[in-house]
Chains A and B, each alone.
Chain A
Amino acid sequence: MSTGTRIAALAAGSLLALSLSACGGATKSSTDKAASTAPAAGQSGATDPNAATKKGLTVGFLPKQVNNAYFTISDAGGDTALSALGESYKEVGTTSATDTAGQVSYVNTLMQQHVSAIAVSAQDPGALCTALKQAMSAGIKVVTYDSDTDPGCRQVFVSQASSEDLGRSEVDLLGKELNYTGQIAILSAAQTATNQNAWIGYMQDELKKPQFANMKLVKIAYGNDDAQMSFQQTQGLLQQYPDLKGIISPTTVGIKAAAQYLDGSQYKGKVLLTGLGTPNDMRSYVQDGTVKAFELWDPGKLGQLAAYTAVALASGQISGAQGQSFTAGSLGSFTVGAQGVVTLGAPTVFDSTNISQFNF
């Protein structure tokens, strides 16, 4: 007994000593932030906007989650674009949207398989960095799409729409529907979701404007992009705030679950819902009046643009520096903005007048 305890204590002690002796102490303030905020420079250095598109490239798509309807559509768009260019497409990914260790593993997998470029939607802004930097130093081009990493860990971020546009427009949509009065709540995805948090930041900022003085954000709930949990969170919101007038859910999984709950409850038509959803998911709820309007970009086009961007990088037409332009097939021409961001365009608002024109 005593021997065992002693050995265990010794082991724990030496473990601590080892980890502490790794280097001298440091605090946040004494650490110089070596983390570069500038986009990583391309290894090739020189770029030629008129360079020929290379053939035989493989782009590996790594979505936040496989088997997720949204990413199925976006990655199919990537496949379409790569087929049109005569390049190869592959998709790998985790079955859970919060398995960051698994997502890091897949970056390693794609690296070992020597793909030309990786297009990844990051589950976490920091966790992928070490692996992505290794991939970039091995000459693999890295594009993030839908959800970004820290800017130093990729060459280009393909953004669905500017965060500011999305955040503010969702609040404006709901404001119009509610005559700018009443309690509202937000049903988000995971607490760490980079893009959702950025949009929510702009929503909160928009709500500070004088016309929203009577609209109060009472709670931000998190459904982790899980249908059941989002459903329960909606239920909880309405129990907690019986006077709730509106919900914004900036996630396709969340808005569908919330609509499903409202549709089967006494709150149908009394509590308004808006946010980001797909027309196919939301069609019946718009037709029966549970939801008046919602918005989204075309995820298929987002995947296409990610693929074209990856090919332009791998062909040396762009490196991710601000001001460079490239052509993305039928989508037209795009220019790289600050911090290596390429933006798809303004979101589309879907309502009863136009929803029948869309099928995704």
Chain B
Amino acid sequence: MADTTDTTAVLGGHRVHRPTLIGGLRWDTVVGALLVILLAISFSTVGGFGNALNISFLIGNTLPVAAIALPMTMLVAAGEIDLSVGSTVGLSGAVMGALWNHGMNINAIIVVCAVLGVVCGLVNALLVTKLGLPSLAVTIGTMALYRGVAQIVLGSNSVTDFPQNYLDFGSGRLAGSFLPTAVLPWLVLAVAAAVVLHATGFGRSVFAVGASAEAAWFAGVRVRRVKLSLFVATGLVSSLTGVFWVLHYASATYSNATGLELSVVAAVLLGGVDFDGGRGTLGGAIAGVFLLGTLQNVMSLADVSAQSQTIVTGVLLTVSVLGPRVARQMSPSIR
């Protein structure tokens, strides 16, 4: 965690930059600093921001993006992308609603949704790894496919009558504090993801695959297996997020989380994860997620119109694509 040195390994003639959680002047550090500054300003100047209810609301509303951003960071670091995550969230919710209407036990439903997520991820993974198709094209297709299946599964129904104690888990707070109950499983997942990406051989192979799949393969990394496990993890987390979404908003509809994939990808890119693969940190991605979430919350409280909010977000994202490159050029440790 407190490793502050940049290690550069030469692998198959390619320089592989292995980022650490904390570095010199790096974009993820910049994003983290921006988040801290934004929070400080908001707490002191924006009315209605700093109370426990609003903070819990902000976190709860950002959790779906924060959860899916974890596997998405690894996927993008490995040079791939998954745009079907929003539809997987919707499909999982639709299946949850339909099975609940059929009288199935809620815990069994959650297990079914988890398996469904694995299947969704596996479909993406096999199309990418077995057929060698670009993941951008594949997941644009499955994005429409999964959303279509969700429409068939639930039609125009909206299911809301889930058990109260589960709904309380979805929208409740820890003993009246500013933390939503659902933050606990997310923290477990975030720590696990950070360890996997930044402190294991698997994590190193993720970056190696993203830097150069060919070089990684010659160095003995099982490229296909790495990609497959990342797609499956993304599908699984998305479907569990679908369950959370239904409980948080007490509403299962086929259209749940429409457009969520763009929020996730935007936050991950804003956090300094390189779209070309091979570079990025989980800390940066998480900072990116909460920077966007906080910004939206603050802009609404400050009466910035929805149209202007879209412009601000757009400008920020455009800068974020440029930012990491500028930061890298200014940082002496990387040539």
Interface string of A172-215 (1 = CB under 8 A from B): 00000000000000000011100001000000000000000000
B295 / chain A contacts, CB cutoff of 8 Å: none
Residue of B151, B203, B225, B251 most packed against chain A (CB within 10 A) = B251
Total interface residues on B, using CB and 8 Å?
Answer: 76
Interface string of A111-152 (1 = CB under 8 A from B): 111100000000011110110001000000000000000100
The answer, yes or no, to whether A69 is at the interface (CB within 8 Å) is no
- Once the chains bind, are B166 and A23 in contact (CB under 8 Å)? yes
B153-179 CB contacts (< 8 Å) to partner A = 155-156, 158-167, 169, 171
- Once the chains bind, are A7 and B103 in contact (CB under 8 Å)? no
A15-62 CB contacts (< 8 Å) to partner B = 15-16, 18-20, 22-23, 25-29, 31, 33-35
Q: Once bound together, how far apart are the Cα atoms of A28 and B101, in whole Å?
A: 7
- Once the chains bind, are A7 and B185 in contact (CB under 8 Å)? no
| A11/B110 contact (C-beta < 8 A), A104-B61, A124-B253 known | no
State the Cβ distance, B44 to closest chain A Cβ, in Å. Answer: 16
| A25/B103 contact (C-beta < 8 A), A4-B202, A101-B249, A105-B300 known | no
- Once the chains bind, are B225 and A109 in contact (CB under 8 Å)? no
Total interface residues on A, using CB and 8 Å?
Answer: 60
- Once the chains bind, are A112 and B229 in contact (CB under 8 Å)? no
Q: Once bound together, how far apart are the Cα atoms of A266 and B163, in whole Å?
A: 53
- Once the chains bind, are B250 and A126 in contact (CB under 8 Å)? yes
B258 / chain A contacts, CB cutoff of 8 Å: 98-99
Within the complex, which residue of B226, B250, B310 is in contact with A130, where a contact is CB–CB below 8 Å? B250
Pick the interface stretch among A88-96, A295-303, A329-337: A88-96
Residue of B105, B203, B205 most packed against chain A (CB within 10 A) = B105
Within the complex, which residue of B106, B162, B188, B249 is in contact with A14, where a contact is CB–CB below 8 Å? B188
Q: Which residues of B contact A (CB under 8 A)?
A: 47-49, 51, 53-54, 57, 61, 64, 100-108, 110-111, 114, 151, 155-156, 158-167, 169, 171, 184-185, 188-189, 192-193, 195-196, 200-203, 205, 222, 225-226, 229, 233, 236, 240, 243, 249-251, 253-259, 296-297, 300-301, 303, 305-307, 310
Q: Once bound together, how far apart are the Cα atoms of A102 and B263, in whole Å?
A: 12
State the Cβ distance, B283 to closest chain A Cβ, in Å. Answer: 17
Residue of A4, A12, A109, A190 most packed against chain B (CB within 10 A) = A4
The answer, yes or no, to whether A10 is at the interface (CB within 8 Å) is yes
Q: Once bound together, how far apart are the Cα atoms of A205 and B164, in whole Å?
A: 34
State the Cβ distance, B63 to closest chain A Cβ, in Å. Answer: 11
- Once the chains bind, are A19 and B185 in contact (CB under 8 Å)? yes
State the Cβ distance, B166 to closest chain A Cβ, in Å. Answer: 7
B306 / chain A contacts, CB cutoff of 8 Å: 66-67, 92-95, 102
